[in-house]
C-alpha cells in the first residue's frame, strides 16, 4: 500500500517484561523467527512515514534484533505499565507525522491487510483529527490510529491502563478486526496463536 501524501507513523509497543510469559514478549519466536521482526515487516508494507519500536525490559538483548529502518525508543519507565509506553510513543512521533497507528507486539495474528482497513480510512479524512480503533468481541481497542490533534488527551494515562479509556472519550470510528482479540500473556496463549497462524497459512495454500 502506497500513498506518498499520507504521512503517518506506526508505533509498536514492546517494552514489557512478560512476567506471566516468562520473558519479554518482544522475544517471542516461532521456530527461528522472532515474531516482533515479522510484525515489523507487516507494518513496513503500509509504507508509513516512520516506524517506532518502544523497548524497555531487557533492551540490550532486543536492540540488536531491530532492523535499521525502524527507530528504537527506549522507555526507561516500562515497569510503570502500558500507559508509560503509550505516552513514550506519542511523545516520540515526528512532528511531520499526522498521527500514529499504535499496536502491541503480542497481537501476533495481526497482518498487513488488517491494518490496511484502518489506514484506508485515513485517505478519506483529515488524519490529524482522526481516531480509529479496532472492534472485536463486543469491545474495541488497539490496533488504533490516533491523530496528532489528540495526543495531549493521553497524558493522563496511568499505570497499566491501556488506550481504551481515552479512546472511548474520543468516540472513535470502529473497524472490525476480529484477530485483534487474541493477544499473548502466557505460553498457552502463544501456542494457541501459533496454531491459528499455521491453520490460516494452510488454508491460503489450498
Residue 35 grid coordinates:
515474531
pLDDT tens track for 39-50: 999 999 999 999
Q: How many CB atoms lie within 10 A of CB 190?
A: 19
- Whether the pLDDT of residue 3 is over 60: the answer is no
pLDDT tens track for 57-101: 999 998 999 999 999 999 999 999 999 999 999 999 999 999 999
Q: How many CB atoms lie within 10 A of CB 198?
A: 11
Phi, psi of 198 (to 5 degrees): -60, -40
Q: What percentage of the chain carries pLDDT values higher than 90? A: 86
- Closest C-alpha to 55, from 69, 44, 66: 66
pLDDT at position 2 is: 44
Is residue 108 a contact partner of residue 35, using CB atoms and an 8 Å limit? yes
**C-alpha 200 chain-centroid distance:** 21
pLDDT tens track for 92-146: 999 999 999 999 999 999 999 999 999 999 999 999 999 999 999 999 999 999 9
Q: Which domains does the chain have, with CATH numbers?
A: 9-205 (3.90.550.10)
Amino acid at each position: 500500500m502506497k500513498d506518498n501524501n499520507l504521512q503517518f507513523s506506526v508505533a509498536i509497543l514492546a517494552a514489557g517484561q512478560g512476567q506471566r510469559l516468562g520473558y519479554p514478549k518482544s522475544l517471542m519466536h516461532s521456530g527461528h523467527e522472532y515474531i516482533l521482526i515479522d510484525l515489523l515487516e507487516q507494518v513496513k508494507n503500509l509504507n508509513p512515514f516512520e516506524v517506532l519500536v518502544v523497548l524497555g525490559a531487557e533492551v540490550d538483548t532486543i536492540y540488536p534484533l531491530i532492523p535499521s529502518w525502524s527507530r528504537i525508543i527506549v522507555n526507561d519507565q516500562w515497569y510503570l505499565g502500558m500507559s508509560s509506553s503509550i505516552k513514550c510513543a506519542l511523545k516520540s512521533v515526528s512532528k511531520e507525522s499526522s498521527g500514529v497507528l499504535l499496536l502491541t507486539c503480542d497481537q501476533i495474528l495481526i497482518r498487513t491487510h488488517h491494518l490496511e482497513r484502518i489506514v484506508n480510512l485515513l485517505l478519506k479524512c483529515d488524519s490529524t483529527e482522526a481516531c480509529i480503533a479496532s472492534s472485536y468481541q463486543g469491545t474495541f481497542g488497539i490496533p488504533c490510529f490516533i491523530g496528532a490533534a489528540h495526543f495531549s488527551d493521553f497524558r493522563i494515562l496511568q499505570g497499566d491502563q491501556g488506550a481504551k479509556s481515552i479512546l472511548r472519550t474520543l468516540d472513535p470510528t470502529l473497524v472490525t478486526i476480529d484477530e485483534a482479540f487474541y493477544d499473548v500473556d502466557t505460553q498457552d496463549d502463544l501456542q494457541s496463536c501459533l496454531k491459528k497462524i499455521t491453520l490460516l497459512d494452510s488454508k491460503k495454500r489450498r
